[in-house]
Structures are given as structure tokens and as C-alpha cells.
Structure 1
Amino acid sequence: MSHLLSEQYDLIRKTRETLFSFLESLPADVLHKKVPGFGFDTIAHAHLHAAGCYMHWLVKFARIRSYPQFPTDEEIQSADVPDLRHWFSISDAVVAEFLSVYESRLSEVIYHHSEGSMGVTPLWLMTHTITHEFHHKGQIVAMARCLGYAPPDTDLVVAEGTSE
């Protein structure tokens, strides 16, 4: 049970790879076309925001080593798929470090005083960051559809040795 979240996160990374491959197939300017009605109005911004959520929540509560500051607005506006991959690789490192510290202590309450002494468990933190990424992934594929591009199914991960 102690490696359950690590295994789950590996599946999430495989699912994310499907989205990255799709984004690589799009014309570069599509990442920055504004799509009204979404919390983050471009595909690049929504995807970077999802990566930043892992960095913000897990680093903040777990007090693990510091990581680079989130991209500036200028960096977001010029981000390409390799940049998106880069920021998710940092998020992956944050998750790996977080899980190495807390995966065997998932029910321990962690407090962060800048959040008004908010206390949450490592399980809550991982659940929050994962569902947050999938929420924005759904927005990203919806934005792509609004822009006239049909994304592949990004919800399912077929385990090795099985079929759909």
C-alpha cells in the first residue's frame, strides 16, 4: 500500500503523455489562442497552471527543498510544448520528493501557517493536485475542440499487457 500513490502518479504521467503528444501535433500558435469562458484563457496557461499546482501545494505544505519560481506572464505567453514538458518535469520531481517523505504517512496532518493554520494530510494534498490537473486537462481538450482540433481520449490509461 505504501507505493500506491507512486504507482497512481506513474499512470497519470502516462495519461499526461497522451496530452503532450496531442499538443505537439497542433500548430504552435494554437497553444496561445484565447478561448473565452475558461479560467485560464489559453491551452498553454491552463497546462502550466496545472503543473504549478503540484509545486505550490506540495512544496508549501511539505517544506521540501525549493524549486524554481513559477513562470512569469511573459514566459507563459511564449511557452511551447518543450516548455510545458519542462515545467511538468519539475512537478514530477516535486511529487517524487513529496512521496518519498510522506507516502508511508498519508494520514499525518501537515500544517501550513500562511494558510491560516490550515491542516491537511498528504493524501488530501495528492488528491487535490491530481484532481486539479485532470480538471484543467478537461478544459484543455475542450479548448482544443473549440478551436477546431479533435483531441484523442486522454482519460484512459491502458495498463501494459491488457486491452481496452
Structure 2
Amino acid sequence: MNPIQQQYQWVAQTRNVLFEYCSTMTPTDYVKQVSAFGWGSVRNLHVHVADCYRHWLQGFGLGEKVEDTPVHAYPSVDDVARLFASVDDLVQQFLAKFEHALDQPITGHVPWQRDPLQLSPLWLLTHTITHEFHHKGQLVSLTRHLGYAPPDTDLVLPDQSG
């Protein structure tokens, strides 16, 4: 496994800790709209993060058409975890394509800009990972607001079994 794949594996590991924690929430709290938080609910934040991976890696990076994910199609933590399994597959597909060209610019359009952008695959992956961690902080804060005590999701320890 190369270092970029290892890094993403650690990201997925912290995400799985978060999914395990979210599975202790009531299903109602997982989708509860809280107007003080962007995206409104824990579930909506999760789906938004998945969409970020899809739009930047699949849409911009791989040049495929991507539609926004309807949040109501993912009513539970297990459903969202399955959505992220497809994100994991997408990341592996993206890394396989750009494995030897992580610094080569890709030219593409984003809806909010007139002129095309040139971004490297490494930038795209870094952006999606940092975006996920930004929203992970919001998500943990939102769950505290709902009365839950989240685990530490910041410390990722490498596997010591080998």
C-alpha cells in the first residue's frame, strides 16, 4: 500500500469510529434538523461529505457526471455507511488512475466559476479529506448539542499487530 492509500485508510478508520458512535444515537436524533448547524443534521452532514468526494474526485477528477445525493435516500447510519463504502471504492478508483500522476494538473469547471480551474489529483484528494475533517468537527459538536458524548475521533493509531 502506498503512503497516499495508507493516509486514506486512516481517514476511513476515523470515519468508522464516528459511524460506530452515531449508531448509538436514536434514529430520530441522527436525522434531527438543528438550525444552528450548517446542513441541519448529522445525516445531512455525512451525505454532504460524501457528495464532496463524489463531485471533486468523480466529477472534476474523473470527468464523470455527478448528481447531488438525496439525503432522504439515506435514513440511517447503516445506509450512510454503505454510501461511504461507495466513496471508498471511488477513492481507490481515483488513486489507481492517478497513482503515477498525482501532481499533474487536471483542467475542469466548477459551477461557481466562469473560467476553468487546473487542479492536481493530490490537491483534489487533500481537499476532500480536509473537508471531511472540517465537517467531522461540526458533526461531533452537533451530537454534543443533542446530548451525546462523542469518542475521540482525532487520534488514529497505526496497526501494531504486524
TM-score, normalization by structure 1? 0.88
Unaligned runs of 5+ residues in structure 2 are none
Name the SS of the counterpart of 1:54 in structure 2. helix
Query: 2: CA distance between counterparts of 1:113 and 1:45?
Result: 25
Contact in 2 for aligned 1:64/1:97 (Cα 8 Å): no
Equivalent residues in 2 for 1:48-63 (5 A)? 48-63=47-62
Q: Please tell me whether residue 105 in structure 1 is matched to residue 117 in structure 2.
A: no
- Output the amino acid matched with 1:8: Q
The secondary structure found in structure 2 opposite 1:46 is helix
- Give me the whole-angstrom Cα distance separating, in 1, the residues matched to 2:78 and 2:64: 24
Q: Tell me what 2:34 maps to.
A: 35
CA contact under 8 A between 2:34 and 2:40: conserved in structure 1? yes
Q: Which residue of 1 aligns with 2:132?
A: 133
CA deviation vs aligned residue, 1:47-73 (integer Å, no higher than 9, x gap): 110011111100112226667x44325
AA of the residue aligned to 2:85? S
Query: Structure 1 stretch 82-91 or stretch 106-115: which is displaced more?
Result: 106-115
AA partner of residue 74 (structure 1): H
> 1:55-110 CA distances to partner (integer Å, 9 max, x unpaired)?
1100112226667x44325325xx20111111101111110000001122111000
What does residue 8 of structure 1 align with?
7
Distance 1:27 1:113, change over 3 A: closer
Partner SS state of residue 111, structure 1: strand
With normalisation by structure 2, the TM-score equals 0.89
Instruction: Supply the distance in 1 between the matched residues of 2:10 and 2:71 (Cα, whole angstroms).
Output: 30
- How many residue pairs get aligned? The number is 158
The amino acid that maps onto 2:4 is L
Kept in 2: contact 1:64–1:98 (CA 8 A): no
Higher helix share: 1
**Contact 2:61–2:124 (CA<8 Å) still a contact in 1?**
no
Answer with 86-95 or 29-38: which moved more. 29-38
Structure 1 gaps of 5+ residues are none
